[in-house]
Amino acid sequence: MKSKREEGEMEIVWQSPANPPERRDYIFLNGRRQVRPYYFEFISHVKKRWAGKTIVDLFAEEFKGRPYDYYVGAVKSGRIQVEGQIVSVSYIVQPSQKISHFVHRHEPPVLAWDVSILQKESDVLTVCKPASVPVHPCGQYRKNTVVGILQAEYGLFPLFPVHRLDRLVSGLLILARTAAKADVFRQQIEAGMVHKQYIAKVIGVFPEEEQVVNVNVNYNAREGRSSVEEGDSFGGTALKGKAACTKFTRISTDGTHSIVLCEPITGRTHQIRVHLQYTGHPIANDGLYLSDTVVDRSAEGTTADRAAAINSGCSPTSGFSSNADFDEFEENSCEGFSIDPMCTNCPNLAPKGYGGHEEGLWLHCVRYSGPGWIYECPYPGWASIS
């Protein structure tokens, strides 16, 4: 949607998921795939605990990635609206009201590796997913995703991911090209008919004999990590984690590291990573599980995930506002993308909170197989040890 204030002034182009990613949206710098900042509407609905607060206090208290003065200016200029209307800074919000936040959106960068196509069939596409790239739009990622890149670079759409890989994990990703085919895969996975294989590079000499880890996995969303729980109860209380089982087989070792085949029987969050930690052989570059020290990621600002969380303000939606009128808006060209004077992330391409030093985990999906089908992905370079 385009909004023009006065004749002679430039147009503001607002985007939503209805705007497909294009090749020109990406900038490659210093080994990173960056996205040109763009204008976007984030929408949320007032929760019960938010009701009774002023619109400015709500944003300042709930979305702390921007300063208080920014939210004052955003309300006054119409960049924050309630039910599609400009309101005063003292406006008191009510439960379930729709609040919109119009932002100059900066997506976190990802590593600049290609999303290479492995097999292209009439109803299935398999690719080698690069580490650091999310599978599909989530949080602050929309264009910098496997689905977005495939649409921008190959015109492939729609795509339905059959399974997910963590953002920092690389390897085989299966995408159905029809909803019906995606449902077939889903039923097979739920029925336990799909066999999954990963490889990992771990610390130390992994035991030569097969290891089966069968302990519960409990994911803590606040900390952004999982832990294991053993036995029928934990401290006299019922276990919070979910049953999880992974089979591990050593492929090779050089005395310092080992390459391990990982075959998850279940599919819990960070299951392979935390089960390898449990064996005493964590993934060699997995900072989250190399020690038992818990890093509260809700308070840290050094990862792309954290950057994504603090820079949105609301959840993305496909809707637009026809009432956006930004009295203080100016735009200037700089380094191939536009600068917004109200934006708290400009003039940098990356959003605040992104440290820029992330690398891919040494965990790679190599094979999925099911009734009458097998899909595979080549080994990565780090897997060559003996």
Catalytic residue numbers read 166
Residue 130 to residues 32, 133, 150, 166, 364, Cα–Cα distance (Å): 12, 6, 12, 11, 9
- Joined together, the tokens standing for residue 293 give 């020290």
Whole-angstrom Cα distance, residue 116 to residue 231? 43
Q: Give the whole-angstrom CA distance, residue 209 versus residue 213.
A: 13
User: Is the omega angle on the peptide bond into residue 108 within 30 degrees of 0, that is, cis?
Assistant: no
Cβ atoms of residues 134 and 339 within 8 Å = no
Q: Name residues whose C-beta falls within 8 Å of residue 57's C-beta, 6 or more positions apart in sequence.
A: none
Q: In what order do the strands lie in the sheet with 32-35?
A: 26-29, 32-35, 110-111
Burial call 74-99: b when 16+ CB within 10 Å, e when fewer: bbbbbbbbbeeebbeeebebeeeebb
Instruction: Find the helix or strand (DSSP H, E) in which 307 lies.
Output: helix 304-310
Cis peptide bond N-terminal to 17, omega within 30 = no
14 half-sphere exposure, CB direction, 13 A CA radius: 24
